[in-house]
Amino acid sequence: MHDTLHPDRLVVGVFSARADRVLRAVYRPMLRAGVPYFRTDPATAELVKVAANAFLATKISFINAMSEVCEAAGADALTLARAVGADPRIGRLFLEPGLGFGGSCFPKDIRAFAARAEEIGAGAAVTFLHDVDRINTRQRRRTAELAARLLGGGSPAAASGCWAPPSSRAATTCATRRPSPWPPPCATGAPPSASTTRRPWTTRAPRSPASPTPWRCPRPARARTWSCT
């Protein structure tokens, strides 16, 4: 809501002066506040949106690719990001190694941008977006694998927020308030899927002589989706 009421710029794609006047009237409070206003044609306005998101996605994947190189070279990725971002031509925003981008905009926009560019004969100009997407997907897998190693496991399942006990221990039974996905990975030992990694859960094994104290998966700060007993 804040971004809607306080945008960085307004870009409108119109065919007529009348449409421009109407939009200027609608956004008059923002224009009075000094928000930059760009009047252009619809094609350019659409490209402004996807080009901005493609650039930010590229910046995120770039620094994550550099973090992978840093890991192999024994360098410090955080220091690299700060030093590179100190260049005013580059800046620090969106230049932070991490899980990569997600949400409802960046993945959809870069894929749709690349597909549409292919349709209009400009696919070669945006082939790098496929690499941006692949780097982003690989970064999630690398993060899960790193977390699994740090937790002492050999499988990305260990990074899902759920630890399954050895088969010799008491069996795990789970119940969930939501019908999907089922069973949760903690019950099967299977690697988490994209749908389950977004839904934290907790589990508890029944008491038994072999397991006198109930164990629990690590609970994220807002683990409200799954409740296993």
CA angle 189, 166, 210 (to 5 degrees): 140
Show the DSSP H helices in the chain as ranges.
Answer: 2-5, 17-26, 28-32, 42-73, 77-85, 106-119, 128-150, 185-188, 194-197
Phi, psi of 4 (to 5 degrees): -65, -40
Q: How far apart are the first and last CA of the chain?
A: 39
- Choose between 26 and 192: higher pLDDT: 26
Q: How many helices (H) and strands (E) does the chain have?
A: 9, 2
Helix, strand, coil percentages in the chain from 3-state DSSP, rounded to 5 = 50, 5, 45
**pLDDT of the residue at 4:** 86
Q: Please state at what angle helix 42-73 crosses helix 128-150, rounded to 10 degrees.
A: 40
pLDDT at 175 over 70: no
Q: Indicate the pLDDT class of residue 156, thresholds 50, 70 and 90.
A: low
The tokens describing 97, both together, are 């190694």
Bigger pLDDT: 105 or 65?
A: 65
pLDDT for the residue numbered 2: 87
What integer pLDDT is reported at residue 54 of this predicted model? 96
Q: Which residue has the higher pLDDT, 55 or 174?
A: 55
CA distance 104 to 57: 13
Q: In terms of Cα–Cα distance, which of 171, 169, 186 is closest to 225?
A: 186
Q: For residue range 109-155, what is the model confidence (pLDDT) as tens digits?
A: 999 999 999 999 999 999 999 999 999 999 999 889 889 988 986 55
Catalytic site residues? Answer: 105
Position 154 scores a pLDDT of 59
Strand partners, 151: none
pTM: 0.64
Is 80 exceeded by the pLDDT of residue 214?
Answer: no
More confident residue, 169 or 12: 12
Residue 208 in contact with residue 181, Cβ under 8 Å? Answer: no
Residue 152 is predicted with a pLDDT of 82
Q: Residue 39: in which H helix or E strand, if any?
A: strand 37-40
